[in-house]
Structure 1
Amino acid sequence: MVKVRDQFGNWSPHIKKIDLELASHWYATIWFKIFFILLFVSAISLFYFYRIKEHKKINKLQADYNLKLKDELTRNATKIKEQAAAIEKEKQERLENDYKQKLFESELKAVRSQMNPHFIFNVLNSIEAYVVEKDSKSASDLIQKFAKISRLVLENSQYSTVSLKSEIELLKLYLELEQERFNQAFEFELEIQQALLDDNKSIPSMLIQPLVENAVHHGVRHLQGRRGLIKIKMNEVKEKIIIQILDNGVGFSPQAKYKSTSFKQSSFGIKGVQERINIINSNSSNQVASLEIVKEAKGSDFVTKVIITLPSTSKTAYPDT
């Protein structure tokens, strides 16, 4: 409303109503307030949904991690059980192998302890016969040879294997002693592959001698009208040592006066060697050793052949004792 007065201060009795519209500031407008409210609500809503999404994402990561951890723990537990089982199995196998090894060694010792006195007993019988029949000088030479062979026997009996050279030396001394005892009634030959000596091969101790002794006492000593011959051959074939002991003795003939077959089959030497062959094979998954006695064909220079097959080794392939 509008009311006026004159210059003398008199007010007009009339009042005039005039409508006025004043423009508000932009931030005070209703539209701005509505927009601001909507914007605020939207921001709150977006933040809320963002937090929900992030929370779900965290939950999913946590669930995946827990599942992965569970799977890893399961795998580790399985792996630990397998390792424990493998360790236990290895332990059992080691104990079993140790037991077999000790059993193998004890059996081998037992066989050797039986064979060595058997060999020495026969050699002493040879010396006794020679001393009674020959002069003191020859007896002295024989005793010296026996002393040397006794030393070799005692040394070799301490080990499960010995060098091939040592075993050959023992065989040579033994055959020389037996030649003296039986008045040179037989000859012997040694045919050794040079590579075996060069490679310093090893074989079970006292394994060949009982078979040679068998050839002497149950073979050539019973010959009449001809001289005996014992031949020992050793060679290496496909990583195996082949030892052949051949003799032209009375052989397997049932008409032979001394029936050598029964002698050979009942001989302690043959039995002892076969036991040692069996023990060697029992300590291996394969049949690495064998003993075979065959009758040679007619017309051959020899009657009986004994074949020993052993694994070829430059080191001890059998248990040490």
Structure 2
Amino acid sequence: MRILVVTDAWAPQVNGVVRTFTRIREELHSRGHLVEVISPEGFRSLPCPGYPEIPLVVRPGRQLVRRIEAFAPEAIHIATEGLLGFAARRYCLRRGLPFTSSYATRFPEYVSARLPVPLSWGYAIMRHFHRPSRAVMVSTDSIRQELSARGFANLVEWTRGVDTEFFHPEAAQGRPDPFEGLPRPIYLCVGRVAVEKNIEAFLSLDLQQGTKVVVGDGPQLAGLRTRYPQVRFAGAQQDEDLARHYAAADVFVFPSRTDTFGLVMLEALASGLPVAAFPVPGPLDVIDGSGAGVLSEDLGFAIRQALAIPPTRCRTHALTYSWAACAELFLGNLAPIEPTTAAAQSPDLGFSGAV
């Protein structure tokens, strides 16, 4: 099958959307499917205010049309609700082509955390975006129930995976200890250093002993470094260096209340790290009942209790998630474009790609 994925998030950005679709593309290619990704690369764009590393595509219409029609997809998936995603949505609607979409980021909460915008406005836009989608893929049952209560339809579950060969408890063996000289235990947090990740809820805790370590980059990094000089901010880490940080830590702290899944939790578990988090969607779906972590509104309590969890229990739970199963779910959720439908479409040179 020729599968087109349209996403506003792609490398060099580092986030769950990018990691997920990178792995999904690899898995589907190995099964003989052809996956084309249309991302902001190659389009004229402007830096997103507050997030200069995130490009906002400017009027992608004609170029987007040419790239879609040159690829001639048999299924179209719109991964993000950004400007490129809206342009692809409009393309499909004008031509009567079915498409699927995914809800991977809580944009209403993210916007409300920065601007005086009611959540109801944000969710109204999200409902509008996803309403024509044949299947809105969500990562957990908690998110599915939450969106259903907010009036979303056509919701299907699409879980995530983790590379348990790459993220492994032995990833730090034979390599320099990234935490050498730091008081133990090491409380590790990995993610974007931004207000929506609620990192300060972790940094402000009085844990009495040990060292807090934050791996990641983002707009809050400079400010938090100044306010919390006792915290080790390791910056963004990639590939083997990231795996080494996981494997060398003692407990993984996930303070976010807005993630739809939290892929970093699986990476931590695969590395033998127990998880401490709030009892919210994402952690409730990944951790609750597994014995591989502790969920509590008292995050400090969760951290202290999680330290007693054996690494083997965490690793065993991570082994139940695979990218192969994730790819199969994604493939099964797609809405194939019938050849007669595609052939009936005529070029629309007036398409502008405006939202």
Q: TM-score, normalised by structure 1?
A: 0.23
- Would you tell me which structure has more helix in proportion to its own residues? 1
Structure with higher Rg: it is 1
Query: Whose relative contact order is higher, 1 or 2, with alpha carbons under 8 Å and at least 6 apart?
Result: 2
TM-score (norm 2): 0.21
